Structure 1
Amino acid sequence: MEAIILAGGLGTRLKSKVKDVPKPMAIVNGRPFLEYILTHLQRGGVTKAVISVGFMNKVISDHFRYRFGTIDIEYSVEDAPLGTGGGILQSLKFVNTNPILVVNGDTYFQIDIFKLLAVHSAKDADVTIAAKFLEDPDRYGTVKFDKTGSLVSFEEKVKGKAGFINGGIYLINKDILLSASLPPVFSFEIDFLNKRSGDINIQIMPSDDYFIDIGTSDDFEIAQREMGAFL
């Protein structure tokens, strides 16, 4: 299996903690955050990762070069920010397998990747999203799905209302993107998933595995305390 890691964001909300490196390279318990993600992918059977990079991309490529453990690494360089969707679309030119695993570079969600693939295959899905239940999902909005796991809707952020969030890990059939008429810059979540939810097969795999998003200073500090066990 091959994966795309979205690591091209600017990380503006974390500048007080991380000043001289892109957010996925923030040091967490002595190691770059991206190493935790790659270790998880390696354990899940990923053999190649395409890292979609932008801001300070040389920091990432100089550190990892073209190999991490058993994973071959290639880089898809964004000359200007493309959004999550544009980053995925540009990275597809380096991908040979189908479906493709897509992972956010600033979240760590320790799901069973083999199980995600099994769900995706069994449901003949176009997109399968790993979802995490949070008591306080204020930052994210939530996903609604039926008893079979089929997506019902994406819900806006509602303060104080618990629910499942999009955990930032997807399995995507490449053809569903390559056959669509899409601009070079777009949000995968807003401009594709939200708009196409009624006409493509989107499945949800809920998981209670460990989840952390280092997008805020508070969660970055939590990651420092909790993530040492995951390497």
Structure 2
Amino acid sequence: ISSALTHVDNSESVLLQFWILHESRLNRCLALRRFEQRFKEIQSSFTQLYNDIIQLPDLNTSLHLFECCRTDNSNTREEIDQTLIQVDDLSERAQTMISHATLLANEGLGLIMEQQKQKSMAYGIDSIEPKCQELNEMKKKLTEQVDEKRNNLQLLRTYIDKLELINDWCTRGKDMLAMHPIHLSNDKAIRSLSELEHFLGDLSTINLDELQHSLTPEPLRVRF
């Protein structure tokens, strides 16, 4: 019996030493598996969200709609406004995904630092590092795509509004010229000149400079 008890004690001591030696390794392995599982989930969400964003009407599609409905800009405005609402909704989803991706990337860096600090056998560092880089790329691509969609649609909305203002301005100018005969008395000529100067000043209030910026997409850029 004494020999058996001694054997049990020795076995317990060996098992305890084994557990102390391997517990941290098992925990790191488990943390790596959880990291990889969360990465796959975020990667899948990113793919779906990114596809949803790029499938929204782009600038050329919206511009084509505008050209087809030039006589009634309200349809184009409504289309743009609806798309902007969709962009805002997708932007909120993107921000949520970006937050999750940031947390996971930080978690991955934490796993790497922990293993480097303990100077123990590396578990999946060669797998964690590229995944952290990919998470950062996902965040960048989502942000750029959402910003580009929103910016282009807002510029197109501005383009349509300003084009309508310019058309109205040109119509007013045409009517103004038709109303004034060629030969006028001095008083009428002075009054007509004043009206013309006021009319020309109205053009500056339309502020076409917004559509001349180098960052404005080529189809919407105004040149003089």
TM-score clears 0.5 = no
Tell me: higher relative CO, structure 1 or 2? Use CA pairs within 8 A at least 6 residues apart: 1
Indicate the structure with greater strand content: 1
TM range (shorter): under 0.3
Indicate the structure with greater helix content: 2
TM-score w.r.t. length of structure 2: 0.19
